[in-house]
Amino acid sequence: MRRVNGVAASSAQLDLARQLHPRKKLENFVNVKVKNYCVDILLKNERIVVEYDSYYCHAPSIPDKRSKDMRRNKAIQDAGYKLLIVKANQCVPSETTIQNGLNRLRNTSKTSTVIRTNEWRKGGRTVNERFSYA
């Protein structure tokens, strides 16, 4: 696992970051602070935060994790950022799926959108890429 800005970053998080900014230095937009919270990916010019929530680290069975995530999300939104949450487990949604999620935030008054992969609760990859938006 690679560290970016002193924080561990999963390979899926880094793959997603590279999908969004192929040439930009990771240190400029991965694991950076927003309102004292370390966020996975920051699209600063668009005021959008992308959080990659793996089932391993964000499962509903983890004590207090949901309430901590909700506090983090509220603080990020209160700071004037929109939030794209990708709930996955080791895989990265296609570029089209990510862009559709980002466009929902860009073109509506929504302050957050969730992309949930089929394998979110299964603990592994799926062959078919099917996503739902919340």
Pick the CATH number of 2-133 from 1.20.120, 3.40.1000, 3.40.960, 3.40.50: 3.40.960
Enumerate the β-bridge partners of residue 89: none
pTM of the shown model: 0.84
DSSP 8-state code for residue 130: -
Q: Give the angle 9-48-67 at the CA atoms, nearest 5°.
A: 65
Tens-level pLDDT at each residue, the chain (134 residues): 799 999 989 888 999 999 999 999 999 999 999 989 999 999 999 999 999 887 666 666 667 877 888 898 999 999 999 999 998 877 888 899 999 999 999 999 999 998 887 766 655 444 334 444 54
Q: Residue 125: what pLDDT?
A: 44
Q: Residue 128: what pLDDT?
A: 39
Query: Taking the domains of the chain in order of start, what are their residue ranges?
Result: 2-133
Burial status of residue 97 (CB atoms within 10 A of its CB: 0-12, 13-18, 19 or more): middle
